[in-house]
Structure 1
């Protein structure tokens, strides 16, 4: 799934009580992986650090690459490819939504899948986390 309109992102898989953190941006209906777009010249891990500071006012530690997930980007024109570089990590402080984040919540895989709006890339990460027995 490669193309000039491809969106490259870095996402955080942060687990508490066997539930995974998801963030909903201001003005958006769906919850997504916390994180965001990878800037030109930036590595996925650098983007993760920058985005989590911007979105959750926290730093990531113990970062481990979980995998790269390809799907269609939710909330973009149909067929827009998404490349989600996902990392398992902990946070140095309690995640606190910043001005661009409307809400954060922790979900089990089934709770997330039952939401009215589900980001395909995030659901793929939920499936992988469930396979690894890291979430319910």
Structure 2
């Protein structure tokens, strides 16, 4: 069974992107979460950003749709994740809350220091940085 999510590539002016790690897990990934039945992906994304990071990006004008990506789910064995990915430019502060154990801004040269979710490693970071991630 596939897991349909909305995810945010939050990007600072220096090119760093925000990755989060949920409680009880090892892999870092983009903030976001499951899209509820009947919910628009962008609405789901803003709900998740508010829940996970106390961010309220506004009315959606700042969000740019990047595309749909699929990968093996990082934290749910035997499942695939289908992500609707949006890019948001931000310098804003955040507060890791809800199920988020850790949140870190990272640059392309720092990826080797982190365990990355397959979606993040194989699709999201290459899409926003234009480089392959090892």
TM-score (norm 2): 0.85
Aligned residue number for residue 63 of structure 1: 63
Aligned residue number for residue 75 of structure 1: 75
RMSD value, Cα: 1.8
1:60–1:92 Cα contact (<8 Å) kept: no
- Per-residue displacement from partner, 1:87-131 (whole Å, max 9, x unpaired)? 01145841111132111101123422x245221111211011111
2:3 maps to 1:7 = yes
2:56 maps to 1:50 = no
1:96-107 alignment, distance < 5 Å: 96-107=95-106
2:45 alignment partner, SS class? helix
1:58–1:92 Cα contact (<8 Å) kept: no
1:60 alignment partner, SS class? coil
TM-score (norm 1): 0.84
Structure 2 unaligned spans of 5+: none
Measured in 1, the distance between the counterparts of 2:101 and 2:19 equals 11
1:64, distance to aligned residue in structure 2 (A): 1.0
Runs (4+) off by over 4 Å = none
1:59–1:91 Cα contact (<8 Å) kept: no
Structure 1 unaligned spans of 5+: none
How many pairs align?
126
